[in-house]
Amino acid sequence: MLVWSLGTAKRRRRIVEDAAKSRASIISAKFAWAVVIIYNLVGLIDIYSTVLAIETGAGYEANPVVRAAMEAMGDGWIAAKLMLQGVISVMVLWFPHWIVLSFFTVATAGNMWIVYNNLLIGGAF
């Protein structure tokens, strides 16, 4: 058990060091900020497009977790989504490693497609 604990502490220290190195890179930091800003804009438009599609009766929330949050919290799901976006944004800015940024950028692009689809369903264009 002690060996596992020492290994875990060593891994944590390495992650903290890698995060610090990544934040020290001007390119990584600027790219992280750019992607986080885009991610949050897409998130805001996602909220709008989801509400639009649902309120027009043209669509429904397909994500069962978000749908459960909507049913349990009413409009409070919006605050919950914004808080989750904030947590994710801080995590990406804390560790702007190229692997993290790559996955985050792909995920943000995928969310853009979902938002576009929501806007189509809601009749925005």
Q: Are 80 and 69 in contact (CB under 8 A)?
A: yes
The pLDDT tens digits for 4-63 are 555 688 888 888 898 899 889 999 999 999 999 999 999 999 999 999 999 999 988 989
Q: Are 100 and 92 in contact (CB under 8 A)?
A: yes
SS3 at position 60: coil
Name the residue range of residue 99's domain: 2-122
The pLDDT tens digits for 60-116 are 898 999 999 999 999 999 999 999 999 999 999 999 999 999 999 999 999 999 999
Please name the helix (run of DSSP H) or strand (run of DSSP E) that holds residue 16, with its range, or none: helix 2-24
In the DSSP assignment, the letter for residue 125 is -
What torsion, rounded to 10 degrees, do the Cα atoms 100, 35, 40, 51 define? -90
How many distinct structural domains can be found in the chain? Answer: 1
